[in-house]
Chains A and B, each alone.
Chain A
Amino acid sequence: MNLVKSALLLAKKDLFSEWKTKQVLVTQIIFASLVIVVFSFAFDPSNNMTKAVIPGIIWVIIVFAGILGLNRSIVSEQRNDTMYALLVAPMEPAGIYLGKFIANFTMIMIVETIAIPFLFLLFDFNMAGSIPYFILIIFVGSFGFVSIGTFLAALAGNSKSSEMLLPLLLFPIASPVLIGVTQATRIVLSDMSKLSSALAWTQMVTSYDVIFFVISLFLIDYVLEV
């Protein structure tokens, strides 16, 4: 079975599991909603200065809601040693990584689709910038965060305290992505005159995404070894 086909099969399995158990996605959405509600009380939505914190809030939601799912996606394969079943099956370890990545990425996109409009609604935010650029930045940033996170979750998964280890590994390594996309988000939401700067940040993040994604595909073989 080729790499993409087996990855899609694994992703479908993970998403179907989530559909049945509703463990991760519901937790992620509740967490995201809670963050939005707390921030809406902390900052006065009628104050113009409040708009400045929205890019930060968006990425706080994505990072912390994302981390809930990343760790779970690997830990769930340790129950009944199902990871062994995947490793003995005729699929490349890169296929396992790709499958997990697709499932995690899909779930974080669902969370974003629900949480971001809710955030804009609660903060009474009128978009002054460009929606397509905003979507592009969210896509690029989420891609980088999830690709790094999925790899590090597999790395931390072998540790007994994987839930603690994953954020410790992930935050420093994902910080260039987070800095870049937060800056780019701020620009496209508020000041389109600096679009070239936003595009430069996006290009930097895209390069980082591609490098880390390719490195992860090559190194996952060593990380998943029993």
Chain B
Amino acid sequence: MIEITKLTKQADNKLILRGIDIKVSKGETVAILGPNGAGKSTLLKIIAGLIKPTSGLVKMKGLDIKKDGFEIKKSIGYLPHASLLYDHYSPLENLVFFGKLYGVEQVEERAVQLVKEVGLSFFLHDPVKNFSRGMVQRIAIARAIIHDPEILLLDEPHTGLDQGAMTILNNVILTMKNKGTTTLMVTHDFKQAAEICDRIIIIKNGKLVDDFQVKDQSIELVTEKYARQLEGVS
């Protein structure tokens, strides 16, 4: 589903990614771990098409992101730390606008259904600027999946969420997984990574240093592997 070969990214004479090779199969849920500044978010932004790589190849669904970026974007749902929502718009207006951008059919019904699923039906017509961080993030989750994406890219999605929003997010990821969605999640939360993901990738100084399957949702395994790789890195 996602095939990354010898990916590098240089910015201001600094090499952020140094030859990353990753293959992710359809339906896999992969967590990307690593210290701050390791290049995790940069990797996700390249996959999302937000920034161009310096060299290397990124293929999704067999299509090259450089040549078929437009086609690939239809299949991607991107949820970064920021909400990507318009403050003065209501959840319904936000979701309808983004739904139309993705060409979603019966977009109003879909938007209402998603707002209901994230538990904010009562606030359907209120401007997002009046919402708490957790409520905003719930709508942000709905925005990311409005078009039923085949690939879900999540950048530290659990940061700052209350328990309710965290449960909703995890349910969304698991529901999408059951539908066959491929998920890549950058996170610092080992517990969530172990619980949700099938596989963990560790990135350090722009290089992939470990890639392993998670067994029995074992957080100990994740912690141990991470500590071994990141020894000496603050």
Which one of B50, B76, B86 has the greatest number of beta carbons of chain A within 10 Å?
B86
The B interface is mostly helix, strand or loop, or mixed, namely: loop
Q: Are A226 and B101 in contact (CB under 8 A)?
A: no
Is A90's beta carbon under 8 Å from chain B?
A: yes
Give Cα distance in the complex from A13 to B143, angstroms: 16
Among candidates B50, B73, B97, residue contacting A90 with C-beta atoms closer than 8 Å? B73
Contact pattern, B 126-169, Cβ under 8 Å of A = 1, otherwise 0 = 00000000000000000100000000000000000000000000
**Among B45, B70, B78, B100, which residue has its beta carbon within 8 angstroms of that of A9?**
B100
* Interface flags, A73-100, vs B, CB<8A=1, else 0: 0000001111011111111100000000
A89 near B87: Cβ-Cβ < 8 Å:
no
Query: Do residues B85 and A89 form an inter-chain contact, with CB atoms below 8 A?
Result: no
Contact of A40 with B by CB under 8 A:
no
Report whether A84 and B84 are in contact in the complex, using a CB–CB cutoff of 8 Å. yes
Q: Which of A1-57 contact B (CB under 8 A)?
A: 1, 6, 9, 13, 16-17, 20-21
Q: How far is the CA of A218 from the CA of B34 in the complex (A)?
A: 37
| With A1-B103, A9-B100, A226-B45 as contacts: A88 and B87 at CB distance below 8 Å | no
Q: What number of B residues sit within 8 Å (CB to CB) of A?
A: 29
Say whether, besides A1-B103, A9-B101, A90-B101, A85 and B143 are in contact (CB < 8 Å).
Answer: yes
- Which of A20, A79, A81, A89 meets B73, CB within 8 Å? A89
Q: How far is the CA of A13 from the CA of B101 in the complex (A)?
A: 11
Instruction: Name B100's closest neighbour in chain A (CB-CB).
Output: A9
Complex CA distance for A17 and B112, rounded to whole angstroms: 21
Contact across chains for B101 and A91 when beta carbons are under 8 A apart = yes
A192 CB to closest chain B CB, in angstroms?
A: 47
Q: What's the nearest-Cβ distance from chain B to residue A152, in Å? A: 22
- Whether the Cβ atoms of A82 and B101 lie closer than 8 Å is no
Kindly report which residue of chain A lies nearest to residue B143, judged by CB atoms: A85
* Contact yes or no, B97 A13, CB < 8 A: yes
Contact A80 B87 (CB under 8 A): yes
Instruction: Using CB atoms and an 8 Å cutoff, list the residues of chain B in contact with chain A.
Output: 45, 48-52, 70-71, 73-74, 76, 78, 80, 82-89, 93, 97-98, 100-103, 143
Interface CB pairs A-B, < 8 A, 12: A1-B101, A80-B84, A80-B86, A81-B82, A85-B85, A88-B50, A88-B73, A88-B76, A90-B70, A92-B70, A225-B52, A226-B45
